[in-house]
Structure formats: C-alpha cells, structure tokens
Amino acid sequence: MTTTRRQFNTQALLGAALTGTGALSLLPQHLLAASAPARPPMRFIFLHRGNGLFPHVLVPPTFSKELKDKEQQKAAYEVDLEQHELPTWLAPLSAHKENLTLLQGLSGKMCTTGHHSWCSSLGVFKANERVSSIRWATVDFELAKLFPSPLEHIELACFPLDGGNPRGSLNGIAQGFSARGPQQPNYAFGSPKVALQELFKSVSTSADERIRYQLERKVLDFVSRNEESRLGSVNGAEQAKIKRYSEAVDAIQERNRQVDLMTDVLRQHTPQLAEKYLKDEMTTLDRQAGHVEVLLAALISGLTNVVAFTIDELGHHYTGIPGLESEKVNMHDVGHGKTIGGVAAEEIRARCEQYHMTLVDRIVTRLKGVREGNGTMFDNTMILYFPDSGETHHSHGVEFPFVVLTGRNSPLDIARRYIRLPGYGLPGHKTLGNWYTTILNATGNPTPHYGDLDAGLAKFNINQKGPIESFLRS
C-alpha cells in the first residue's frame, strides 16, 4: 500500500511557526512539503560487510567470451544490464535492474586492509582501533552535512564478538565504523530493540520509556546551565574543553527540540517490530532484518537522511544461515576456505550475500512505495553495498566491488550498467577517493579530492585526484 509523507502534524508546524522562521527551517524539508514546495533531500544508505567481496561473483553469467576476457584482463568496459542475467546471489535485485549498477575496479590501498578496516573504507585513510587514527569525517558524515536532519546520521551494526571495533557487545551501543570528524568516532546500535528504544523514545508507548526521556531532558538542561556557569571561573585549555562540552550538550538539546516537533510523524512511522527482533538472543539474519526495519522507519519519518549499516563484520559469529541453522559460523574460517556443516566456504558466502540482497530489495521496494513530490522516496535515494576491506579475506585493497542502486533523481549517470573501470596501475585507474569525490561533488560538496592518495600508484603516473567525470550528469 502506498503511503504519503505529507501526512504530518499541522499543530507541530504551527507551533514551530510561532517560534520564528528559524525554528521552522530546522525541520526536515520533506515535512514542509504541504506549506512550501521544496526539493526533497538525497538519502544515502551505506551497507558494508566484512570478509571481502570477490570481484568475480559480480560478473553476469551471460557475458560473452569477449567480455569475460576483458574481465580477466581488468580492461575497462561498460555493459547494459538489461540484456543480461544477474548472478544467483544478486537475483533478488532483478526487479530493480533499471536502478542497479555493478561497479568494479576501484582500489583502496591507501586504506587499512586485511582482516579489519575500522573507519578506512568510509574515510579513505589508514585506521586502527585507536581513536587517534581517525583523521577526518567519513564520507557518510560529509553527506549528512549536505542534507541536514534532526539526528544527522544513524549507524547500525552486527558487531563482532572477537576482533574488529568493539568486542563482545552484540546488543549494546558501542563504537561504530563511521566518524564524525578527526578523532571523533561514531557510535552504533547493536540490536534493533535498542535502536528502536533510543530513536523513537520520544513517542514510546511505554510509560517508563517516556519518563526516562523526560528525565534525560532535565539532566541535559541542568548540565547545560552548570557548564555555562563554570566558563567564567576557568581559563585557557580548561575553558576551551568546557566550551566544547557545553556546545555538544547544546547540540543534543537542539536535536531533541527538532525531534519533538515531529511527534505525530514519528508515531505514524514507528516500526512495529516482530517479537523475534526484540529479543536479546536472535539469529544474525533476524538481527539484520530487524535493523533494516529500523533503518527504513528512520528514513521515512525524516529522523535522518544518512544511514550506515555494518551488515556483518569478520569477527561476528553468524547464525541462521540457510542450511546451517544449527551452526555458529566463524566467518574467519570461511575466509580461509573451510567447509562447515558440509557446505563449502564460497557457498556460505553466497548464501549470506544473497540474503543481504533480499534486504536491499526490501529497502528499495518499500521506498518505491512511499510517495514524495511527483514520484517516490526512492527517486532521491542511493544505496551502496560493498566490502569493508576489499576483494578477499586477506585483502590487499586492489579492488573494492560495489553494488549500487540509485533513484531517478540521482545526480550520477550510472544506472542499469555493469561498469568495469581500468584495473590497478592501468591508465585511467580510479580509487575509492575518486568514487567518494564523485558522489560529494555531484551532491553539493565541491572538494577537489576526498581521502588520501595511494603512494603506490605514483609510479604509474596516474592522476589520482578529482571525481570520475564520466559518472557526472552533464
């Protein structure tokens, strides 16, 4: 059933108007659609997974020998996907071929590769688990700045139990895989239940949750007044520290105020999660599906325009894989080619990746059913599915395959195509930095180049800076 995003709370808008046009302008633009025509914001969903993504699994089986030879040579070419059958694991996206791009050939050797990448694949710099290694905001946060929303950015994760960022924190809120800025890690929700409680607590049907929300507001008010009063009694570095802390508290209060203006919209779009998604113990596949429901609700309600979802991580122990339901699958073993429960490692990968594509299909289908302007919400959405650390389990970063879905209002001209860019070291080769620079330039950030350069490409005399011009609409 098609819903409309113009069914919002008139009283909330009137209340905002009484406080001045400044307050009204803080509302997400789509919530103002009934009072003033506005171009909907672009939305971005970053779905990244651990353990690599083999480039060969993206190649359509119906390619000719000539195309397969080009693929082997890593030579550049493009093909219309409409004429070809998708690989089995990508079959759930068959209904969305007009929006689909299979992008091959990007390298990321300037990132941390191998087992874990931390912020690397989103930030295009070397990183490790130390906060001091975070050099700047990851690309998802840069995009969130271009398309402001009350919560700016939301991160969800299937956390690892060993290795990777947090350890042993499946259901909590822990350090994520994105970064707000230099030495500013983001925090991610580990379970759908916690994400639902935190993101939609202002409209919770639970009396305890509503009381907790109001108490948090009072605590913030107290802290804000207390920190302001301390500013005059200290000097130098301590004063700067207190000022930063006070500004952070003020930002949270402003965010809460914006969320309060959306009360009826949030009630309308609060996800009604099935009981299995609200448990502390659930299969990995259920955890992923529950996160997708929260992700969709956050986007459709207007809480955020950018979501990062670590759909799995190398140290996450998989449960619920079709045919291996009774197994706790160690993806590190899968990375080393181990057969588990009689199922070969590459087949285990395929089953997990195919399930991921069913989730992507769910996202696209749902957003195509939400009216927005003269079209649907998906018209203004871009989804990127890619590996955290490159092409294999022990990756070197020579390839980062991407599965991309873009709506009809996308500023990029890439849809319905298999695109093989020149391989590493070949003339015209492109990197993750070029790819993210392209997206940023196309959506309003004119940065000359995003991310670090790859020193290893210097010997090939390749110009690494700037966007991929052929992807930009003329």
pTM of the model: 0.84
State the DSSP string of 362-385. HHHHHHHTEEETTEEGGGGEEEEE
**What is the rounded CA–CA span in Å between residue 304 and residue 99?**
22
Exposed/middle/buried for residue 286 (C-beta within 10 Å: 0-12, 13-18, 19+): middle
Q: What is the largest CA-CA distance in the chain?
A: 76
Residue 72: CB atoms within 10 Å: 10
Calpha distance 163→420 (Å, rounded): 33
User: Radius of gyration over alpha carbons of the chain, in Å?
Assistant: 23
Cβ-proximal residues to 346 (8 Å cutoff; 6+ apart), any chain: 54, 337
- Cα distance between residue 153 and residue 463, in whole Å: 32
Each of the 474 residues of the chain gets a pLDDT tens digit; together they read 444 433 323 222 222 222 222 222 233 433 333 334 578 999 999 999 999 999 999 999 999 999 999 999 999 999 999 999 999 999 999 999 999 999 999 999 999 998 888 999 999 999 998 999 999 999 999 999 999 999 899 999 999 887 666 665 789 899 999 999 999 999 999 999 999 988 887 655 566 665 555 555 555 455 556 656 666 666 667 666 666 656 655 666 666 666 666 777 777 778 888 999 988 899 999 999 999 999 999 999 999 999 999 999 988 899 999 999 999 999 999 999 999 999 999 999 999 999 999 999 999 999 999 999 999 999 999 999 999 989 999 999 999 999 999 999 999 999 999 999 999 999 999 999 999 999 999 999 999 999 999 999 999 999 999 999 999 997
For residue 438 the two structure tokens come to 């392209």
The H-assigned helical ranges of 200-307 are 207-231, 236-260, 263-269, 284-301
CA 201 – CA 151 distance, rounded (Å): 13
The candidate with the shortest Cα–Cα distance to 101, out of 88, 89, 86, is: 86
Name the pairing type of β-strands 381-387 and 43-49.
parallel
